[in-house]
Amino acid sequence: MPETIDSALRQARARLAPGEAELLLAHVLGRDHGWLYAHGTDPLAPADAERFEALVARRVGGEPVAYLTGRRGFWTLDLQVGPDTLIPRPETERLVELALERIPADGPSRVADLGTGSGAIALAIASERPQARVVATDASPAALEVARTNAAEAGLANVELRQGDWFGPLAGERFDLVAGNPPYIAAGDPHLAQGDLRHEPAAALASGPDGLDDIRSIIAAAPAHLRPGGWLLLEHGHDQGAAVRALLREAGFEEVETATDLEQRDRVSLG
């Protein structure tokens, strides 16, 4: 019997996490989920079956689904991602929520996203706050190319991309809100050698012996880049809340607090 869409999915599901088989087959066929379900009894062309099986095998071998499809949903956006960018995480959507609560919906503001990667944070904010001007920086030219594609695909003209480390390309400029999801894993943490992380750019993940090197330098430089009453929001590890709050207070921040993610773990500190 020739293979059908349903039978191919059934076999792949047994080897993958929930939802992954559908994402990979939809990608191979250039269709969406709804189409797959409506066409379950359609035969699967041998060439498509082969491409699907190759992707399933790579996934079983540990490659992240988002790198196999080249896409990842974040906020309301469908972003291009690749090995030059971190895969945006749901935790980071929490940071976007907290940022939007602090950016006026009905007036101009200046926002910075440090280490934008795929552009996730900057583009989500820019899409929700059309009157905001968002500047996004990244040290990696390859990541900025991905962010540029994503800005163009989303039709967002209120985002400006600049190459450089953290505040490097923002000399002398001040913002109403600065956000970032810098690398925050301790170098040598065994998690770096596991799961999706081992395929993602090390520079986007690890930051010194305690994981806080980049967060420390961002917090130290931030006051000179904030307008009076401005906010700094940084994502960090679930066990770094107290340390990041202490750094914020040392740098003179007020109203310092930590917000939790969907799993009720410390995830974003702000001041």
**Do residues 55 and 68 lie in contact, with contact meaning Cβ atoms separated by under 8 Å?**
yes
The neighbouring-strand residues paired with 109 are: 132
Q: Is 118 annotated as a binding residue?
A: yes
CA–CA distance, 187 with 12 (Å, rounded to integer): 35
143: nearest Cα among 127, 170, 164 = 164
Does residue number 181 form part of the binding site for ligand GLN (CB under 6 A)? yes
229: nearest Cα among 178, 171, 170 = 178
Q: Is 183 annotated as a binding residue?
A: yes
Name the residue type at position 196: D
**Do residues 170 and 135 lie in contact, with contact meaning Cβ atoms separated by under 8 Å?**
yes
For ligand GLN, the binding residue among 183, 211, 237, 241 (CB under 6 A) is: 183
Residue environment code for 80-104, b if the CB has 16+ CB neighbours within 10 A, otherwise e: bbbebbbbbbebbbbbbebbbebbe
Please say which residue, 109 or 116, places its beta carbon nearer to ligand GLN.
116
Please say which residue, 215 or 226, places its beta carbon nearer to ligand GLN.
215
Q: Whole-number minimum distance, CB 85 to ligand GLN, in Å?
A: 7
Which string of x and - marks every residue 88-127 that binds ligand GLN (by CB under 6 A)? x---x----------------------xxxx-xx------
Which string of x and - marks every residue 50-89 that binds ligand GLN (by CB under 6 A)? ------------------------------------x-x-
Which amino acids are annotated as binding site for S-adenosyl-L-methionine, given as ranges? 115-119, 138, 166, 181
Binding site for ligand GLN (CB under 6 A): 86, 88, 92, 115-118, 120-121, 181-183, 204
- Residue list, annotated binding site for substrate: 181-184
